[in-house]
């Protein structure tokens, strides 16, 4: 018996897992060694897991961390469980079980993209990754880089714009930052998941070259730059084949062409077969949402029936293990309960928001607000209490809690996402910055009353909002809540009007020639109010640059009518469901612009 083996036996007798001790070996060797010691059942354990919040409390494994996903480990070999949380804008924590838990909420992806600053992307990633780590998560489902092809798409706010180079560079920085905490990040949603309408049934049909020159390129750059340990495949089909069982995407492009070494996890409810494993999917996430346990009981059957070779199981388990060793989650295990410096992290969120604000118009240099402005009226947007944020799995409950949460009617995920405002009031910040001025507030619900207030002021700051959530696309590009009519009325009464947009993506601005200034603040995160006030007053020079083209109206879009069933005021007619709802039919999505996305 070699000394090494002897030492191993001794360690095992002491109850210390052998694999964990071999920290000086490279991840491939460690993965191979662990795999060799695993039983067939243990290998399958690594290939699937539940969404913890959907488990009855009596069925929750001991010590489970409640987040988006959980993959049990193999304790006897020192293989840790994967504890997974969303996502790109901070540790998302809407789960009832963790109610009251807060995290630092960064501005939206499009805000980050407007900074054009890879270092900032990395700093933000490092910050949210450190919070994930401190809360006991070793996988952060960060890194959304689907391209913004249509301003009506519901998840644009999570993504990084329309340009594959910019988006790829930024997501690479973000992922590298997250993973600098020795945790795993996952780039997502692979691939072509650019619309929410019918996202789990539609097929994006596009030739290979334009795909590789657009959406795929953003991932390629992101993977090259950020080296994520995981990729998340998406709900939709690509050229007729589900992304999570698409050999072209999962094997030809990702592995053969790009040499990706990590593992592929599914999106939650995006798996349709056990054979997906052979196509290149390694892990079924949130398995209750699929309806069938394709990667557990059914996988055992598939192997027994010869539909899936045992070697494919080994390959998938090996990739998952390799990512565990390569990321550092084994050598430096996460532990919930570490102290978080929320003040320092909030400062990063504010810096990001300040740099992400884009000045779209400034007629007569009305901004920055002159020291001589005495009577200022702030209108709408709940600016007296906070700033808007986007809904869905990426929603972060910010430090300080929401200023306001409003339940929404309609399709998509509105049943469980609310229109939520971060607790950072632009009005309060403006008052603090301009102590000499009289600054009043009008809520904007009555355009006539707002116009009267505007007339009596030296300067008007009016907020325009557009709320978006995962799970539904917009029906048009208009502002919410009659915002366009409000701005028209106010600008008519007082041309010294500054519009601050809190929107997910591009919106129509039929009033744009009538107002003096326009700021695109996107969803500016938990310190957005301060950031907006600092840009308005000139404490910060607005230096954000657009990461998306601003079409004048939907007529200018490559698809003036969204593909698939029509989106109604109540949400998409093919609402988001998990797995396949009875009667839902696939439909083609074509993007006539191909690789010429946006200004290209």
Give contact residues for ligand BGC (rule: CB under 6 A): 68, 86-87, 141, 188-189, 267-268, 393
**Shorter beta-carbon distance to ligand BGC: residue 150 or 267:** 267
Q: Using CA atoms, how far apart are residues 247 and 275, in angstroms rounded to an integer?
A: 11
Instruction: Tell me if residue 252 is catalytic.
Output: no
Residue 242 Cβ vs ligand BGC, minimum distance, rounded to whole Å: 14
Residue 194 Cβ vs ligand BGC, minimum distance, rounded to whole Å: 13
Residue 576 Cβ vs ligand BGC, minimum distance, rounded to whole Å: 8
Q: Using CA atoms, how far apart are residues 408 and 406, in angstroms rounded to an integer?
A: 6
Q: Using CA atoms, how far apart are residues 543 and 201, in angstroms rounded to an integer?
A: 40
**Shorter beta-carbon distance to ligand BGC: residue 141 or 320:** 141
Catalytic residue of the set 267, 473, 480, 504: 267
Q: Using CA atoms, how far apart are residues 174 and 179, in angstroms rounded to an integer?
A: 9
**Shorter beta-carbon distance to ligand BGC: residue 190 or 268:** 268
Residue 139 Cβ vs ligand BGC, minimum distance, rounded to whole Å: 10
CB 399 within 8 A of CB 103: yes
Phi, psi of 419 (to 5 degrees): -70, 115
Residue 9 Cβ vs ligand BGC, minimum distance, rounded to whole Å: 41
Q: β-strand 517-520 against 358-362: which pairing, if any?
A: antiparallel
Listing from the earlier edge strand, what are the strands of the sheet with 375-379? 358-362, 517-520, 497-503, 459-466, 375-379, 438-442
What distances in angstroms separate CA 409 from CA 256, 316, 363, 412, one per listed residue?
Answer: 45, 41, 38, 10
Residue 373 Cβ vs ligand BGC, minimum distance, rounded to whole Å: 43
**Shorter beta-carbon distance to ligand BGC: residue 106 or 385:** 106
Only one residue has tokens 């430096």, namely: 332
**Shorter beta-carbon distance to ligand BGC: residue 284 or 355:** 284
Sequence-distant (6+) residues with CB within 8 A of 294 are 48, 271, 272, 273, 274, 276, 284, 287
Q: Using CA atoms, how far apart are residues 12 and 52, in angstroms rounded to an integer?
A: 31
**Shorter beta-carbon distance to ligand BGC: residue 10 or 581:** 581
Question: Three-state SS for 223?
Answer: helix
**Shorter beta-carbon distance to ligand BGC: residue 86 or 282:** 86
Question: Three-state SS for 129?
Answer: helix
CB 233 within 8 A of CB 281: yes
Q: What angle do CA 355, 359, 361 make, to 5 degrees?
A: 175
**Shorter beta-carbon distance to ligand BGC: residue 470 or 502:** 470
Residue 391 Cβ vs ligand BGC, minimum distance, rounded to whole Å: 12
Residue 197 Cβ vs ligand BGC, minimum distance, rounded to whole Å: 14
Only one residue has tokens 């409810």, namely: 269
Question: Three-state SS for 195?
Answer: coil
268 has which bridge partners?
A: none
Sequence-distant (6+) residues with CB within 8 A of 461 are 376, 377, 378, 379, 383, 426, 430, 497, 498, 500, 536
Active site residues: 267
């Amino acid at each position: 018996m070699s000394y090494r083996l002897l030492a191993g036996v001794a360690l095992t007798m002491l109850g210390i897992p052998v694999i964990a001790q071999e920290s000086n070996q490279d991840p491939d060797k460690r993965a191979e060694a662990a795999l060799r010691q695993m039983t067939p059942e243990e290998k399958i354990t690594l290939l699937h897991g539940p969404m913890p919040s959907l488990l009855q409390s009596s069925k929750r494994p001991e010590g489970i961390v409640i987040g988006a996903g959980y993959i049990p480990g193999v304790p006897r070999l020192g293989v840790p469980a994967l504890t997974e949380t969303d996502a790109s804008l901070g540790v998302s924590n809407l789960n009832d079980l963790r109610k009251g838990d807060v995290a630092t909420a960064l501005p939206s992806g499009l805000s980050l993209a407007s900074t054009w600053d890879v270092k900032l992307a990395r700093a933000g990633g490092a910050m949210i990754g450190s919070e994930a780590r401190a809360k006991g998560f070793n996988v952060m489902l960060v890194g959304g880089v689907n391209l913004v092809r249509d301003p009506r798409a519901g998840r644009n706010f999570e993504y990084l714009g329309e340009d594959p180079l910019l988006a790829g560079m930024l997501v690479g920085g973000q992922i590298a930052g997250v993973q600098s905490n020795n945790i795993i990040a996952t780039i997502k949603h692979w691939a072509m998941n650019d619309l929410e309408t019918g996202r789990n049934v539609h097929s994006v049909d596009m030739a290979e070259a334009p795909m590789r020159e657009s959406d795929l390129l953003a991932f390629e750059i992101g993977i090259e730059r950020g080296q994520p340990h995981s990729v998340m495949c998406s709900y939709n089909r690509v050229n007729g084949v589900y992304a999570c069982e698409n050999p072209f995407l999962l094997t030809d492009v990702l592995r053969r062409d790009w040499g990706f070494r990590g593992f592929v996890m599914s999106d939650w409810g995006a798996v349709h077969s056990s054979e997906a494993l052979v196509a290149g999917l390694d892990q079924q996430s949130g398995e209750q949402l699929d309806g069938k346990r394709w990667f557990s009981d059914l996988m055992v059957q598939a192997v027994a029936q010869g539909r899936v070779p045992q070697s494919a199981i080994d390959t998938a388990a090996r990739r998952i293990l390799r990512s565990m060793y390569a990321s550092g989650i084994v050598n430096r295990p996460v532990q919930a309960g570490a102290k978080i410096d929320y003040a320092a992290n909030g400062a990063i969120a504010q810096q990001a928001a300040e740099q992400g604000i884009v000045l779209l118009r400034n007629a007569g240099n009305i901004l920055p607000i002159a020291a001589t402005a005495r009577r200022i009226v702030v209108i709408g947007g709940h600016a007296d209490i906070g700033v808007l944020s986007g809904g869905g799995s990426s929603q972060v409950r910010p430090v300080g809690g929401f200023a306001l949460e409003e339940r929404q009617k309609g399709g998509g995920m509105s049943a469980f996402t609310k229109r939520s405002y971060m607790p950072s009031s632009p009005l309060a910040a403006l008052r603090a910055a301009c102590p000499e001025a009289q600054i009043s507030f009008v809520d904007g619900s009555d355009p006539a009353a707002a116009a009267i207030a505007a007339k009596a002021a030296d300067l008007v700051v009016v907020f325009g909002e557009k709320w978006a959530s995962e799970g539904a696309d917009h029906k048009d590009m208009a502002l919410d809540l009659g915002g366009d009519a409000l701005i028209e009325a106010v600008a008519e009464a007082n041309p010294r009007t500054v519009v601050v947009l809190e929107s997910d993506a591009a919106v129509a601005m039929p009033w744009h020639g009538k107002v003096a200034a326009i700021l695109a603040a996107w969803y500016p995160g938990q310190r957005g109010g301060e950031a907006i006030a600092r840009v308005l007053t000139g404490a910060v020079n607005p230096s954000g640059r657009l990461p998306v083209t601003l079409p004048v109206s939907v007529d200018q879009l490559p698809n003036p009518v969204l593909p698939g069933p029509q989106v109604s005021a109540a949400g998409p007619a093919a609402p988001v469901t998990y797995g396949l709802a009875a009667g839902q039919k696939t439909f083609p999505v074509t993007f006539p612009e191909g690789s010429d996305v946006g200004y290209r």
